[in-house]
């Protein structure tokens, strides 16, 4: 495989050649399944697992390879297998909090240049959910692009595009219909050789169909959505990196029933710059934006310059991030105690006669 097409750069090459000597090679993680990894390399696909040392030193799931990662491998080419000895530094990563009560990061895709936030122009379209996706997309280090799919099934496209534009400040928006091949050519400019795109969105919005159109043939299985609630049936069940013919790579992901926030301090400023520009105009620096005189936020809502529901969404996301930060601090404290206890125990065993 051509590593440059997969996104390999001179910066990565320099890092690899300086730090790793011997018979090591590099590859990009295309698929993960129960801690086994399918990795694309210059020698073809290899089935890999991490070393015991890497597994032992991993403090969180973040320390394990994710789809899109560039990894250093000790290959066994005749067996078609390899051992992952290290993960090269990530230039970007789209993360969310793992579903459930556990406060832990889940990396959805790593080393991506562009995030396609795919939303169907049908019953699925929800601007509050788009705000949430944009928040994490900006935080990822990649560039967000909003894809509004199934235009052929929507009678009021312009109205819905305007609603999305109101919350997606400065973000490119593309209206497409994969069935009618509408708007697809504009998307191909993002998937050039060396470029990586991650597709994110709810189930049934047409991510797998879009992969097939970009690939040029049916690469991912596609199912019909239910007509009663417009929901999909989770065609894609795992994250997978797909190499596009004559182009870059696309990471297809399963539909997300929920998108719980992870760290997004810079992302919230980027996503809600319209609100924060009013905040800095308030008379008092500690304004709570409730009843204070000279509050620019309240004035903007009353004048119609700022939509009240968007401001409520901003407050809700701020509260969610603050709560997550408190839980993460507690989790980090417990993890540090556990690590110290383990290190102390190891020392005790080594010092025994």
Asked whether residue 342 is assigned to any structural domain, the reply reads no
Does 205 carry a binding-site annotation?
yes
pLDDT at 144 over 80: yes
Confidence of residue 267 (pLDDT cuts 50, 70, 90): low
DSSP state of 231: -
Assigned domain for 351 exists = no
160 is in an annotated binding site: no
Find out whether 154 is annotated in a ligand binding site: no
Residue 149 annotated as lining a ligand binding site: yes
Model pLDDT, residue 344 = 55
Per the CB < 8 A criterion, the answer to whether 211 and 252 are in contact is yes
Task: Count up the domains in the chain and report the number.
Answer: 3
Confidence of residue 22 (pLDDT cuts 50, 70, 90): confident
Q: What percent of the chain has pLDDT over 90?
A: 43
For the stretch 24-48, pLDDT in tens is 999 999 999 888 999 999 999 999 9
* Same-domain status, 104 and 242: yes
pLDDT at 178: 85
- Are residue 8 and residue 127 in the same domain, yes or no? no
Q: What mean pLDDT is predicted for residues 69-82?
A: 96
Inside any domain, residue 141: yes
Is residue 146 over pLDDT 90? Answer: yes
Task: From 79, 68, 67, 88, select the one nearest 25 (Cα to Cα).
Answer: 88
- 109 marked as part of a ligand binding site: no
Say how far apart CA 128 and CA 268 lie, in whole Å.
13
- In sequence order, what are the beta bridge partners of 71? 27, 87
Average of per-residue pLDDT across 168-186: 91
The two tokens of residue 4 are 């440059």
Is 282 part of any known ligand binding site? yes
According to the annotation, is 33 in a ligand binding site?
no
- Do the domain assignments include residue 259? no
- pLDDT tops 70 at residue 230: no
Q: Which residues contact 212 (CB under 8 A, 6 or more apart)?
A: 178, 218, 219, 220, 222
Tell whether the model's pLDDT for residue 226 goes beyond 60.
no
181 inside domain:
yes
For residue 303, what are the domain limits?
Answer: 265-336
**pLDDT, the chain, mean:** 83
Predicted confidence (pLDDT) at residue 73 exceeds the cutoff of 70? yes
| Residue owning tokens 């698929």 | 31
Q: Is the pLDDT of residue 100 over 60?
A: no
The runs of H, that is alpha helices, within 264-307 are 265-271, 273-279, 296-303
Owner of token pair 């959805």: 108
> Is 202 annotated as contributing to ligand binding?
yes
Residue 103 confidence (pLDDT)? 61
| Same domain as 284, residue 224 | no
pLDDT higher at 263 or 12: 12
Is residue 170 annotated as involved in ligand binding?
no
Q: Could you tell me whether strands 143-149 and 114-120 are parallel, antiparallel, or unpaired per DSSP bridges? A: parallel
65 and 101 both lie in a single domain: no
Q: pLDDT above 70 covers what percent of the chain?
A: 80
Residue recorded with tokens 């047409």: 206
**Cα-based distances in Å from 318 to 88, 188, 196, 303, 313:** 32, 35, 30, 24, 9
Q: Are both 318 and 230 inside the same structural domain? A: no
Please determine, for residue 234, whether its predicted confidence score (pLDDT) is greater than 50. Answer: no
Distance between CA atoms of residues 216 and 214, nearest Å: 5
Q: CA 110, CA 65: separation in Å to the nearest integer?
A: 9
CA distance 29 to 66: 7
User: Based on the domain organization, do 24 and 97 belong to the same domain?
Assistant: no
pLDDT of residue 232: 45
Residue 351 has pLDDT above 80, yes or no: no
Residue 294 falls in which region: left (phi positive, over 0), alpha (psi -120 to 50) or beta: left
State residue 229's pLDDT score.
45
Within this chain, do residues 76 and 106 fall inside the same structural domain, yes or no? no
The dihedral of CA 267, 270, 275, 277: what is its sign? positive
70 against 139, higher pLDDT: 70
80 appears as a binding residue in the annotation: no
17 is in an annotated binding site: no
Contact 188, 151 (CB under 8 A): no
pLDDT in tens, 285-312: 888 887 888 899 999 999 999 888 888 8
Compute the average pLDDT of residues 132-161. 91
| pLDDT of 220 strictly over 70 | no
Q: What would you report as the CA-atom Rg of the chain, rounded to the nearest whole angstrom?
A: 23
pTM: 0.78
Q: What are the tokens at 224?
A: 């019909």
Torsion of CA 253, 254, 256, 260, to 10 degrees: -50
Q: Which of 40, 35, 30 is nearest to 1 (CA)?
A: 40
């Amino acid at each position: 495989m051509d590593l440059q097409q997969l996104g390999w750069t001179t910066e990565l090459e320099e890092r690899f050649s300086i730090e790793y000597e011997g018979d090591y090679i590099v590859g990009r993680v295309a698929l993960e399944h129960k801690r086994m990894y399918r990795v694309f390399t210059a020698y073809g696909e290899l089935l890999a697992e991490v070393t015991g040392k890497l597994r032992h030193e991993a403090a969180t799931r973040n320390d394990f390879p994710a789809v899109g990662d560039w990894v250093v491998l000790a290959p066994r080419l005749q067996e078609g297998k390899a051992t992952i000895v290290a993960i090269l530094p990530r230039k970007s990563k789209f993360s969310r909090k793992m579903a459930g009560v556990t406060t832990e990061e889940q990396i959805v895709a790593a080393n991506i240049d562009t995030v396609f936030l795919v939303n169907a122009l049908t019953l699925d379209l929800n601007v509050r959910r788009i705000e949430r996706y944009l928040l994490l997309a900006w935080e990822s280090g990649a560039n967000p692009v909003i894809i509004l799919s199934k235009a052929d099934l929507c009678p009021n496209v312009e109205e819905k595009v305007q609603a999305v534009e109101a919350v997606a400040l400065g973000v490119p928006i593309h209206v497409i219909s994969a069935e009618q091949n509408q708007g697809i050519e504009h998307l191909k400019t993002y998937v050039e050789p060396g470029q990586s795109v991650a597709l994110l969105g709810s189930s049934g919005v047409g991510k797998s169909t879009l992969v097939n159109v970009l690939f040029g043939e049916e690469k991912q299985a596609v199912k019909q959505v239910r007509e009663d609630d417009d929901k999909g049936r989770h065609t894609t069940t795992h994250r997978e990196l797909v190499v596009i013919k004559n182009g870059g790579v696309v990471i297809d992901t399963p539909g997300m029933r929920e998108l719980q926030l992870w760290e997004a301090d810079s992302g919230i400023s980027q996503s809600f710059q319209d609100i924060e520009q009013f905040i800095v105009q308030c008379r008092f620096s500690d304004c709570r934006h409730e009843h204070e005189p000279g509050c620019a936020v309240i004035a903007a809502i009353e004048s119609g310059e700022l939509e009240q529901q968007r401001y409520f969404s901003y407050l809700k996301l701020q509260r969610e991030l603050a709560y997550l930060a408190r839980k993460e601090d507690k989790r980090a404290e417990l993890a540090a105690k556990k690590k110290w206890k383990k290190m102390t125990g190891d020392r005790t065993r080594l010092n025994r006669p």
